[in-house]
Structure 1
Amino acid sequence: MNIRFLRTFCAVADKGSLAAAARALGLANASVAEQIRALERSLGASLTIRRGQTVTLTEAGQAVLGSARAIVAQADELAQIAQAGALRGRLRVGAISTELTALLPGTLRQLAACHPEIDLKVVPGTSMGLLAMIETGDIDCALMVRAPFALPKSLSWQAVRLEPLILAVPAAMREDSVAAAIKGAPFIRMDRNAWTGQIVTRYLASRQILVRELFELDAPETIVALVSEGLGVSLLPDWGITPPVGRDLRIIPTEDIRYSREIGLLGRRGPASSLIDAFWRILYDEAAR
């Protein structure tokens, strides 16, 4: 039985269409269709049903999907074992925007020096979006905010660092009290639906601080730019905040560790686990520096 055909079948099941599976695998639509037909001939059963642009699995397809996934995973693991312990292969890493500039540059430099055989691809996104990409198999792991809910056991979480909650204020503002500074200026809020925004909302509620909201957006670097322009104040995790060139701002600590943002590496357990672990170790060391 051809492992490549099983891998294609799993991709079709995950993506729900031949075209989407073809894009994910880097194949032509016709090649994907032919591989599925070849697999069906070898098994003597119809595995898929096409309905317009979408594809659903037959009962036989549903029955063999779990075993197909296991065989593909074992084949991937064998390929790594055959390298006699050398860390090599493809690793697809997602990252939220703040960590793309704060942690990744030094991490990638060290990774290239220590593990040059790892072929790494970086994908930007939000924490919620990156979690969805891990679940669909589009990436292997993600540097992101810890989810505010329990995750399935098929995923692993490795903490990297805590980012304390601070209040960013214009450089000219002389207030040193978080509550007084918020009450005295327009408030630029992190999107309350984002996981970081939920931390901000909990902090404000715990202090019973009412805000005069000016903007709400899920773009922390843009918020920093707006604060440095003097438009308002904002509660943010301190990922190593720096204002745009030629601008300035002040940082007032909240001094409450309960509202720190935990950043870590979320990964899928499986063939890429050894690569994910190696990447995490370098990330952790970079955060400690």
Structure 2
Amino acid sequence: MKKANNSGKHEQIFLISAGQGSMDIRQLKTFIAIAEHGTFAKAADTVGLTPSAVSQQIQALEIEVQAELFDRSTRPMTLNSHGLQMLDAARNLVRSADDVIDAISGKAITGTFTIGSIRSSVLSLLPRAIVALKADYPDLKIKLHVANSDGLLNDVVSGRLDSAMVAEHSGVPAALRWSPFINEPLFAIAPPGTPQMSATEMLSTLPYVRFNSRFRLTQLIDTELARSGIVTNLIAETDTMTAVVACVVNGLGASVAPYSALKEALGEVVSAPFGNPQVHRQIGLIERRTSTRTIVIDRLHQHLVSFSGEYGVAR
């Protein structure tokens, strides 16, 4: 990587050597925008250029790599095999360049960092991680926003949030990266004093307190109950895991909960692994693939992994 002799914006001065010439970060960001949005016109809006300027940048990039990157016979046009190869490389190069720019300019450790989160039992880990992050970057102002998964995904895509903590999600847009930090097991739980028994016996014989929400956790639990052929005797439903655990602790019935919701109550309930093999659920951080806050997000992820203990998942 070498520095050009001009006084433009930071991203304009970073050039990546390739053959006899060089490609700049603007070309790569434009290429990524086309791949993610499908057309030159939509990409132009994203990167703040005219469609003509976008076309010129892509022509220059294709000349530089000596290969066409798009199949122009389709409408909208799609990446060809060379383009798919280039996309992975471009994203890595842009991310590396942004990290260097952030480190030089100080943007990664000052200003405002906005983080979102679902309402989850794992939410208890986030305040601890934020406190640790503040210790790393004392000049960084941090804002926390709690919402549902769909809203968080949209807010990260649009740039209203720098990152968000969400469960494993099948609908993560291509523009986002999801990195799990915890892979925690699920347990069947029963009131104090219940004889030790298997999860199947527990959930079949005792009244059942159902966790009922839009979260993927509900789907995980219901799917495993159906797969195992467990017929429950429903006594109550609630949309918060804290309420589920409280119902069980106070003797209302049995239920299923993830480890993070049971840490403080493991001594108060009877538990057994849920599922064979035991079912796990993952929570992670989402961020834009072209985020300029990668250094901060990486550090937040490290803290979340640390506070997740034996169930932490390294980035």
Work out whether 1:151 is the aligned partner of 2:172.
Answer: yes
> Structure 2 length as normaliser, TM-score?
0.61
Q: Look up the match of 1:211.
A: 232
- The aligned counterpart of 2:280 is 260
In the alignment, the residues of structure 2 paired with residue 136 and residue 256 of structure 1 have an alpha-carbon distance, to the nearest angstrom, of 40
2:117·2:166 contact (CA, 8 Å) conserved in 1? yes
The SS at the match of 1:161 is strand
Q: 2:159 aligns with which of 124, 128, 137?
A: 137
What residue number does 1:231 align with?
252
In the alignment, structure 1 residue 110 sits paired with structure 2 residue 144: no
Relative to the length of structure 1, the TM-score reads 0.66
Give the superposition deviation at 1:126: 3.5
- Work out the CA distance in 1 between the residues paired with 2:154 and 2:107: 31
Are residues 69 and 192 of structure 1, via their aligned partners in 2, closer, same or farther at CA, if it must alter by over 3 Å? Answer: farther
Gaps of 5+ in 2: 1-40, 51-93, 311-315
Give the whole-Å Cα distance in 2 for the aligned partners of 1:281 and 1:69.
36
Name the CA distance, whole Å, in 1 between partners of 2:287 and 2:43. 27
C-alpha change, 1:85 and 1:271, in structure 2 (3 Å) is closer
Pick aligned residue for 1:250 from 264, 267, 270: 270
The answer to whether the Cα contact below 8 Å between 1:127 and 1:195 also exists between their aligned partners in 2 is no
Query: Relative to structure 1, is the Cα distance of residues 132 and 187 closer, same or farther in structure 2, using a 3 angstrom cutoff?
Result: farther
Structure 1 residues 132 and 259, CA gap change in structure 2 (3 angstroms): farther
1:184 maps to 2:205: yes
> In the aligned structure 2, how far is the partner of 1:219 from the partner of 1:129?
18
Q: 1:130 and 1:193 mapped to 2: Cα distance?
A: 14
Given candidates 212, 215, 218, the residue that maps to 1:194 is: 215
- Aligned pair count? 221
Q: Which runs of 5+ in 1 are unaligned?
A: 1-60
Which residue matches 1:99? 122
Paired residues of 2:189 and 2:270 also in contact (CA < 8 A) = yes
Of stretches 224-233 and 116-125 in structure 1, the one that deviates more from structure 2 is 116-125
Secondary structure, counterpart of 1:180 in structure 2: helix
Q: For the residues of structure 2 that align with 1:138 and 1:104, how far apart are their CA atoms? A: 19
Q: Which residue of 1 aligns with 2:53?
A: none
